[in-house]
Amino acid sequence: MQPRTDAQIKARVAALLNTEEQLREWRRNNQLAFAYPDKGPLARRHYPKHLEFFETGAKFNERGLFGGNRTGKTFAGGYEMALHLTGLYPEWWVGRRFSGPVKCWAAGESAKEVRDTMQVKLFGAALNHGTGLIPKSKLVKTTPKSGVPEAIDTAYIQHASGGESMITMKSFDQGREAFQSAERHVVWLDEECPMDIYTESSMRIITVNGIIYLTFTPLKGMTELVMEFMGLNVHD
């Protein structure tokens, strides 16, 4: 075998570096494919509560994932939302499935907090959309939220079955009226919301047999919403 020249070696190295950079870029833009893997330190078996939360979605229209800070609640909520929006359900998924495009809401305490948490989980950094749980190749377009720099109002996502899903980012400080008069397949509420907003949101899923779920740390104690999920009669 003839020894390679310096030029050939440099060309080979450049090709390898380019390939590795392409792989890194592909991974940055396809976070969904790497979440909850079969093996490794982040294998899904290490997150039994998350898996239980996902599984109960096949049986119940209303769910809550409650726990302490830094336990991955928002990530789990964003992961499920990304699956419904894209239709890219993994083989192991035993939770709720939608066969076609969906219309969704994701809501938190304020527009800025939604931008800094839920939006980042779903779409990635403000100047680099597509690096979150929704693959860049599936992100059709976004519209900006008025009055909140770098915040998304509505996004349209290509669904695996054809057509486009849509998600609107909302906030509790908009009041109950902002959660009226719409049908939604999926509603995700991150952090504890006022009871009237939860009640209004839960009405949006009825006609389409949708789902609503919350992810939050119950820092406010035994509120009406917490007692509702615990099966306690708040009027006793």
Active site residues: 191
Q: Sign (positive/negative) of CA torsion 50, 99, 211, 137?
A: positive
| Residue-by-residue DSSP string for 200-222 | HHHHTTTTTT-EEEEEE--TT-S
For 181, the 3-state DSSP assignment is coil
212 in Cβ contact with 201 (< 8 Å)? yes
Question: CA-to-CA distance for 192 and 111, rounded, in angstroms?
Answer: 15
Question: CA-to-CA distance for 13 and 6, rounded, in angstroms?
Answer: 10
Burial degree of 102 (CB within 10 A; 0-12, 13-18, 19+): buried
Q: From the centroid of its chain, how far is CA 78?
A: 2
